[in-house]
Structure 1
Amino acid sequence: MKYSLVLVLFAYIYAAQAKVYFEEKFNDDSWEKNWIYSKHPGKEFGKFVRTAGKFFNNEEEDKGIQTSQDARFYALSTKFEPFGTEGKDLVIQFTVKHEQNIDCGGGYLKIFDCSLEPADMHGDSPYRLMFGPDICGPGTKKVHVIINRDGKNVLINKDIRCKDDVYTHAYTLIIHPDNTYEVLIDGEKVEGGELENDWELLPPKKIKDPKAKKPEDWDDRATIPDPDDKKPEDWDKPEHIPDPEASKPDDWDDEMDGEWEPPMIDNPEYKGEWAPKQIDNPAYKGPWVHPEIDNPEYTPVPDLYAQKEICGVGLDLWQVKSGTIFDNILITDDVEYAKQAIAGLKETQEGEKKAKEAIDKAEAEKAGTSSDDKKDGADDDEDDDDDEDADHEPQVVEDHDEL
């Protein structure tokens, strides 16, 4: 009983100490007063609009801010009361909905210290953390997790795949005070580990011994040419030979056309360049491994996780095709609060899917390509195939998936 009371008391104290540093749900138009567009010269920045998009679960609750202009940079940020993360978890969480089926563009947040000037934010503005999805073509579909240390932006050395559909997804980064981290998508852990192992934030613990060299007599060849193997006497044959079946054309004029020569063909007897067969090397010692020593430049950092000052968050993006909706931005040290903040995500996603299916169906019917029409058309194609060539291409029904 006493043990249970201690746990309850601990939970109560933790809850009392846990703090939400910043939360933005874009519930009304007040966001336009709190967030500042950059006026950095030389860029044509796009605008955000508050909307739930074309398909949603609950129109009012699902409203966020959406990129509204194609082929634009976006630079929008806000500041809040500064805080440090010493001895605390840091949780960064937000939702992203690429309802435009994004082809190339960012969907991430940047976290700043108090040096941020919102009206001058741009791509080179220094930041503390960058986190979120980035998509560009089929080759880039990743979650960026970048940590700034000593003025250098360091990218995680793991490949974390992001969601690439058109529905709302939640991205969560948790950095713990024991120098570990977690990345969650839709509340499910997709990556985690130690900061020191997964970023090059510190010099390596070990380095190759600069005084060590591979011995001159070290043989790392697994196989060698057989010294007893000899090239057969009949091996050398020309690669090409005159075509024995070719004959000089009747109308060939040696004076006008020059001396006739038969065309060349591949020689069926050509065996290629001869090389002795390989045998196991009796002197093989295996691959030489360079000895390592402790790196004199390495010093462990117990508080590698710590951010001394955070007081700004921004969207600093480029998008080819606009339409991404950002919402539910949260910065806290309360892991449980962050979990509860996206408790209704599954319901939101299911509602979006139903709404999109209804829109797709209406669009298809308007274009005369309902599911029944498609089926009937497929049957007609099969009948036509009986009367036409087997390689006839059936008519392709226009895809109305993109809205």
Structure 2
Amino acid sequence: MKWAVPLFLVSLASATVYFQEEFDTNWESRWVNSNWKTDGSQAKFRRSAGDWYVDAEKDQGLQTTEDYRFYGISSKFPGFSNQGKPLVVQFTVKMERNVDCGGGYIKILPDGFDQSTFGGDTPYLIMFGPDICGSEKKTHLIVAYKGKNYLNTKRFRCEIDSFTHQYTAIFHPDNTYEFLIDDQEVSKGKLEEHWDILPKKEIKDPSAKKPEDWVDEPTLPDPEDKKPEGWDDIPELISDPSASKPEDWEDKDGEWKAPMIPNPDYKGEWRPKMIPNPGYKGPWTAPLIPNPDYVEEPNLHAFGTYGGVGIELWQVTSGMIFDNIIITDSVEEAKAFSEKNFAYRKAGEPDAKKVYDDAEEAKRPKPAEPEEHDFEGREDL
């Protein structure tokens, strides 16, 4: 059963669900299409479960409708900060068609944003989800800090098949994060190590100089290796022994000489063999020192005051379905939401897709069978 309204600021034990959306029949009362494109290049969403599904009603989500179009839609919720608390952002996206270029991400927006003009230039606090364009296939996990957007320094994969996939980003108050696809960990670590938000804690000492006696050549010529006798007597080119003077050659043409060809015995310039350098110390690098520009940020996990969620995209191939968005401070709440709304899809969609594909195949006209002829007794053959 779908929720009648999204849950705002619902406290369950110590958990708070700031936003929850399953796109019931009243979804349009909570979402606003923007007017950021006025040239006819922007299309609208519709509520749909797609061409195939596990549950015709429960699988209804927000679907893009037209190819080669921009999209912009958003929903607001009461502003909040996750300072000192976890923040979990989770949603599902289904790419029924073979996507050659299109975004499948959502944006978490700052409190007070303008829904009517929400578009590509609207500032956001988090941009999260898959993006595909040709051979470029990745999952964005971009965060904002002091008005500047920062891409994660690691490259995250995205799922490119036609099934529903769930994307989960978790930001912890100890300034670490986790990223999951379909409840499976893809990456985790420290925010300041996986985003270049803060200056590095340590830098190379700019005053350090490589010692004059530093040996950074891993090999050296073998001093005991000697050039073989006669090495330099072998010419690089020789006269072609198979060549002969043309019969029409005349003395007035000058003295005939056979053309020169590479000498198969020529070995090139002699060089002594290389041996390991006993004094090798490895590549020299300046020692690290504390960065005077580094200042610890205890609230790096809190990107601002969140006030809405938006879907702003360009799609060459339409048909993506967004669903089951939840923003909460509880990992357990997000897991429970996943068990309710995603687990059955993950289990049932392969079979549902096969049923659909088999039905589509049955609709296709079958090639005509060749006619049978009885040639027995015909004298003209």
Under a length normalisation based on structure 1, what TM-score does the superposition of the two structures give?
0.78
Pair 1:333-2:309 in alignment: no
Structure number with greater Rg is 2
- Is 2:184 the counterpart of 1:175? no
Structure 1's 215 and 38: CA in aligned 2 closer, same or farther, altered over 3 A?
Answer: farther
The equivalent position to 2:201 in structure 1, one of 205, 214, 218, is 205
2:283 is matched by which residue type in structure 1? Answer: P
1:65 counterpart = 2:58: no
Q: Does 1:147 align with 2:174?
A: no
- Say which of 182, 186, 209 aligns to 1:186: 182
Structure 1 residues 160-169 or 110-119, which shifts more? 110-119
Paired residue for 1:107? Answer: 104
Cα distance between partner residues in 2 of 1:102 and 1:226 = 59
Provide closer, same or farther for how the CA distance between residues 115 and 259 of structure 1 changes in structure 2, counting only shifts above 3 A: farther
Task: Tell me if structure 2 keeps the 8 A contact 1:236–1:271.
Answer: no
Shift in Å, 1:266: 4.8
The TM-score with structure 2 as length reference comes to 0.82
Q: Give how far 1:272 is off.
A: 3.8
Stretch moving more, 50-59 or 264-273: 264-273
What amino acid is the match of 2:171? Answer: I
Deviations 1:71-94 (A, max 9, x none): 333222222211111222111111
Q: Secondary structure at the match of 1:154?
A: strand
* Cα distance, 1:19–1:283 mapped onto 2, change above 3 Å: closer
Question: Residue 98 of structure 1 corresponds to which residue in structure 2?
Answer: 95
1:46 to 43, 48, 60: 43
Contact kept, 8 Å, 2:167 with 2:180, in 1: the verdict is yes
Displacement of 1:48 after TM fit?
A: 1.8
Match for 2:345 among 345, 348, 361? 348
User: Residues 41-79 of structure 1: CA distance to partner in whole angstroms, max 9, x if unpaired?
Assistant: 568223322211111001111111112222333222222
Cα deviation, residue 137, structure 1: 3.5
Q: 1:309 to 1:38 in 2, by over 3 A?
A: same
Q: Secondary structure at the match of 2:36?
A: coil
User: What's the secondary structure of 1:61's corresponding residue?
Assistant: coil
SS of 2:270's equivalent? coil
User: Partner of 1:373 in structure 2?
Assistant: none
Secondary structure in 1 matching 2:116:
helix
Unmatched 5+ stretches in structure 1: 1-13, 371-403
Structure 1 residue 240, shift from structure 2 partner? 5.9
| 1:217 partner letter | D
Q: Structure 1 residues 250 and 122 mapped into 2: Cα distance closer, same or farther (>3 Å)?
A: farther
The percentage of aligned residue pairs carrying the same residue is: 52
Q: Which residue of 1 aligns with 2:21?
A: 24
Corresponding letter in the other structure for 1:69 = E
Which residue, 308, 314, 322 being the options, matches 1:312? 308
Q: Note closer, same or farther for the CA distance 1:39–1:220 as it changes in structure 2 (3 Å cut).
A: same
Answering whether residue 88 of structure 2 is matched by residue 121 of structure 1, we say: no
Deviation, structure 1 residue 260: 8.8
RMSD: 3.1
Query: What are the superposed Cα offsets for residues 268-326 of structure 1, whole Å, 9 maximum, x if unpaired?
Result: 22324433211222432332231111111111111211233000211122222222111
Asked whether the 8 Å contact 1:236–1:270 carries over to 2, the reply is no
Query: 2:40 and 2:202 mapped to 1: Cα distance?
Result: 44
Write the letter of the residue equivalent to 1:332: T
Counterpart of 1:119, as a letter, is: S
3-state DSSP of counterpart to 1:245 = coil
CA contact (8 A) 2:30 2:75 kept: no
Paired residue for 2:273? 277
Aligned to 1:342, the other structure's residue is in SS state helix
Alignment coverage as a number of residue pairs: 356
Question: How far apart are the structure 1 equivalents of 2:276 and 2:174?
Answer: 51
CA deviations over 1:6-41 (Å, ceiling 9, x no partner): xxxxxxxx8344222222211115427622224245
Give, as a single letter, the amino acid of the residue that structure 2 aligns with 1:200.
D
AA at the equivalent of 2:324: N
Structure 1 residues 182-191 or 323-332, which shifts more?
Answer: 182-191
* 1:79 counterpart (42, 54, 76): 76
**Secondary structure in 2 aligned to 1:349?**
helix
Aligned residue for 1:217?
213
Distance 1:297 1:249, change over 3 A: same
- 2:8 matched residue in structure 1: none
**Structure with higher helix content:** 1
> How far, CA to CA, are the matches of 1:260 and 1:110 in structure 2?
82
Classify 1:219/1:61 alpha carbon distance in 2 versus 1 (closer, same or farther; 3 Å).
same
